[in-house]
Structure 1
């Protein structure tokens, strides 16, 4: 009986593993169907380990859809990761988190999660898997390096990684080769070696067309290939590829790929002076752009909230562990235990207090809108005339000196209309010179407006948070609180309390804003 029970358990584990692999493969061509299977697997999970693996699976599927809010929700549901996941799974978990942070332009968090993935990669016992994840991490680091500059060192690294990839087995080799061809195609395109770049995009298309089908990489390759064709003035071929990309991205339900495909179609039809198709795809592009701006802001807020919550939980666990050790160590004397207990709690309170004060001091120095931030990614060729770009920049500067951004109805289309320009130009210029999207740009202006009011008008410190939210132009108390904390690092209530104490004690004076 015991033998039969063990056999059944082993069979169930094997079936679970096969189901997970099949779902991962399906997610590359039909993520919505893969999600249905993932939810069924999660519902039938019997152990914490199974739940953790299925949450990881669902998070990966949402990542493929570029639905970062839901991806983060499921990835952060995995608690006590070292207890429920292998080193291999932990490495993968932190890699996905890192890639999401990179796409949301959260560079500090990207590096933090990438470093965590390296720690777990180093602990993997299986040499083959250890080398696989080492190569995967190096490819991601190479992507970051290529966005800054090209050097002989970079070319040497590309060659070494290609050799490493060719030592792997078929499935893993295909996964990494697709990422490798993406990098090579983009790098040679930036170098204006368009024919060579097209060769790499074709390799990526061929790999993506093999089973399991990978619509994400296929769509990405078609977009890149079409961009090269546009530069070669082969507009008809570019349009054909972009329509295929749009079709694949719709099957993936990936808003980002749909937005890029429709945007590039607009550029091609504009050059061809095809007004009907230009209007159709421009409307589609603007619709997707609005959706992406909203979902990106939601994802950024979700990321900050989940990371903050996880840090608080880890801190609480450490404190609990320290207290337990303390009790064991000094249990001989109840009196000594009480003394140490109060001292311990006092120290924590003092550290927390110091941290809050330091955060407060940093708020006014570091969290104003950073004008003309250097773009971290290599800029794509801009179609905006230099004179037009400078006019819009000057208008933005004047706009920041007004209170128009506190209007709840303020939107990209609204401001573009005020500036006598189009949403595409305005969005691109804000992204290029401020390194943020339109929503984040407006939210930073609103938060800094309230910070100034709190510092210069004592009455504001006595107003309710709901009034401050309304005065700044936010739609609700909760959205104001979330955005305020994501930008400043502390909640508005905490900030006001510190400001009141500062005013009362008069210990901090003349803090300058560095705009």
Structure 2
């Protein structure tokens, strides 16, 4: 507990110190630090410290919206966080953006929200966000360049969902709107025209991707050519649309693997592969090409390089899972069971975050890959989980039984020790009270005798019967299997009413209980004082103490001691 207090103290001290040291920074500086801190993986919550300090300084709503938007994307791309964290940040950004008149941030937040929902396969919420985007878009002036650009942003969401036809329709309509806008505004500055051409070029790249997924390779090739034409038209050559990515995808689907490898090499020479995102894609296509050429060791090497890059890509295809899938296939071909087990496990672990089964089959059909290994592993994992649950329940039941058995054994041991202690101290053994204590011999009018509680016996008769009972016990006449209330009254020269009353008054028990207690006490003493008795059968012990039936003996012994005769004997032997 003291250690816990100490840790809490250090955390509070760190927070206070951090706030004091950050007090000199302005909101804008803290916003930049918040975004940059995402990349410090050795300080996983540093971005949260900067963000809290920025909020404390009460920045503008537009700055807060911008920070939440960028933070949501960077945490998704560069940190292994759940999508729900990015979704929560975007929801906050959306609230602040709606307080401003700057519609682009609101549209960006809604587009990103719909994207993350689509990645989670929560298509209902994804489409709700798109519907809200359309409402806001309908209020944008047609004279604004934003009007002709925001429509295409919805296409990515439909593409992630897998609705490529709708995505293609939206992008084509967006390109028509851009062309119409340019024709209506011939006075556009060169920079603005360059940006619009760049957007249209990007739309053709997106169309090529959608056609590639549908394996309409002629249409994909046409869109790649159109994108290259727009690239040549642009004055600003620094703007990129990653045409090479979809061209490499097209070449692989066309089974031109060497051309795809050459293209990626040229893109690297020209400096197009200048980010983790692009490097990740290039390594995936290189691994895919090598696998298709049956160069499994080379393909696995590319997979391992890609998995060493800390980035995630928002796309219909989950590149991370596809690379793990390739690693599985390569490991199987190379007969590397250790890597096969590892990559299968990682695939299963990551796939839990996404409902990727249908998309995985779709991608496999495009490449005509064998996904049976991954499917078998997923089924195996489910089967193993069921077995684990069943084993856990079985172990739990066994543990509960053992615990119950242990407690019961201790209770029985305590009962045994109490009986033996009474015997060793020459005390009368106290037996458990039983509601039903019949002898194994017929009785006459016993119920009527027991009901007579108010019978008065003279002191002279009372004293005489007591002495007779003492002699009866000393001579151990209760061991006779033929003993009964009727023959005892005859021997005592009295009647059954008086004899029962005296036993009840002085022994505190009925006639039946009196005889049974004497018999059980007798056999317990014999077992304790004569070790050879412990080797006798239960039937002999029953006969020895006057019971004509060993089943009756077992029942009476168990009822009175709380232990079966066999358990009592075991305790006695282990003393």
Normalising TM by the smaller chain, what interval? Answer: 0.3 to 0.5
Which structure: larger Rg? 2
Q: TM-score, normalised by structure 2?
A: 0.42
